[in-house]
Structure 1
Amino acid sequence: MHALASRIRRLAPSCGPVRLVGVDGHAGSGKSTFAGRLAEALDGAPVLRLDDIASHDELFAWTGRLLGEVIRPLSRGETARYSAYDWRARRFGPPRPLPPAPVVLVEGVGAGRRALRPYLALLLWMDVPEEESWSRGRRRDGEEQREFWDRWVAAERRHFAGDPSRPYAQLLVRQCETGYEVLRGPAGTAGANHAITEGDGPSAVG
């Protein structure tokens, strides 16, 4: 993981002074866990979770708020402020600050959407099949969220049918028994295949 972090630090800024890194994939594919570990390897890089941007009324129609509240301020080198959605209370909370750190991770379904890609220094795709991802998510959330998941699956299918992310990912991430394997993605360059497991040294990713 530290090797991938080292590679990200060497990327050119993509959103003002920020190296914006997207972590996309189907719901339940492990994006949050992976992004959290990557953030630790990046010495506590901020993580914007798109679950905080979306809402019951706007599962995917949040591009305007993301650009206005987050992307444009960061592109000017300013601290962004966005209102995080409370999925239980069904309302947005008070604004949260997001500083223009050297690296900011954007994690969630739709992190690689076309409106966001011009601002990304790197796009990673959690390479877990949709049905397996959704099954994981349903088990995690339990029966009380069954109706929501039925609605979500239909909405996610529509989103990726019209605005796919995986074809534009430079790297694919696959979970292994001892960590993660990171491989060249559809939009990657030749020679970018790397196996990364927990505890790897800085030479694992060039």
Structure 2
Amino acid sequence: MHSRSSDPVALALQRGAASILDAIVDVAASNPVVLIDGRAGAGKSTLARLVAANWPLAGQPQLIALDSLYPGWDGMDAGVECALHDILRPHARGLLSTWRRWDWELEMEAEASAVTPALGVILEGCGALNPATARLADVRVWVQSPEPARKRRALERDGDTFRPHWDRWAAQEDSHIRRHDPHELATLTVTIP
């Protein structure tokens, strides 16, 4: 996972991924659960993809984005609850489970995906880290980045789809941070410029 990039964001993501990969190895489990939380545009999805692509254990991890579970723009808490009920708890008990993807265009549940307890899980998204989810995770990551950089990245990525919802989503993030203090629950903090 070495790169000659001089891009400070890319370098921070690579360093963060390397720290997470080291933590995964240190867990000494064949099916660890990694939670990656942070505000919109912080770099969670890119970091999660880097970790998945360089997974240090046998078998591919199951990479699940909370964006696929949130039932719409007001659904942060509901999406996290779904992940807890349909993914994290069954995985912790060694049970095969399924979760349903939220179709943002049709505003309804779509196809189901299976989660096998034999493989690791990377669950990334705003709200991922709270006291209930933290108890079921081996590696807990908080990704932080300054708001101007986050907003620029998020709007470059999602453009006009996200722009009208930025403040509404940020209010849910604020509530999550006040209630759960995810930074304090994290075992690692990754800072992205």
Which category describes the TM-score, using the shorter chain as reference length?
A: 0.7 to 0.9
Find the aligned partners of 1:63 and 1:143 in 2 and give their Cα distance.
25
Q: 1 or 2, which has the higher strand percentage? A: 1
Structure 1 residue corresponding to 2:86, chosen from 64, 69, 75: 69
Deviation at residue 51 of structure 1 after TM alignment: 1.0
Choose from 47, 53, 71 the match for 1:40. 53
Instruction: Using the TM superposition, give the Cα deviation of residue 113 of structure 1 relative to its aligned residue in structure 2, in angstroms.
Output: 1.3
Once superposed, which parts of structure 1, at least 4 consecutive aligned residues long, lie more than 6 Å away?
Answer: none
Root mean square deviation, CA, Å: 2.2
Deviation (angstroms), 1:49: 1.0
Partner SS, residue 99 of structure 2: strand
Residue 9 (1) aligns with residue 39 (2): no
- Deviations 1:64-111 (Å, cap 9, x if unpaired)? 422321122212212220001122221111211111144211111111
5 Å-filtered alignment, 1:1-206, equals 1=17, 4-13=20-29, 18-42=31-55, 44-56=60-72, 57-175=74-192
Q: Judge conservation of contact 2:37–2:142 (CA < 8 Å) in 1.
A: yes
Contact 1:19 1:121 (8 Å CA) reproduced: yes
The 8 Å contact of residues 21 and 104 in structure 1, kept in 2 or not, is answered as yes
What residue in structure 2 maps to residue 188 of structure 1?
Answer: none
TM value normalised by structure 1:
0.74
Per-residue deviation, residues 134-191 of structure 1 (Å, max 9, x unmatched) = 3321232213432222311222222212222112212122347xxxxxxxxxxxxxxx
- The one-letter amino acid paired with 1:107 is E
Instruction: Please list the CA deviations of residues 12-61 of structure 1 after superposition, one character each: whole Å capped at 9, or x if unmatched.
Output: 55xxx731111111111111111011011116311121111211152223
Q: Secondary structure at the match of 1:152?
A: helix
SS at match of 2:76: coil
CA distance in 2, matches of 1:3, 1:158: 28
Q: Distance in 2 between matches of 1:44 and 1:117?
A: 22
Q: Which runs of 5+ in 2 are unaligned?
A: 1-16
**Equivalenced residues, count:** 173
Choose between structure 1 and 2: higher helix proportion: 2
Change (3 A) 1:102 1:29: same
Give the % identical residues: 29
TM-score, normalisation: structure 2: 0.78
SS in 1 for 2:149: helix
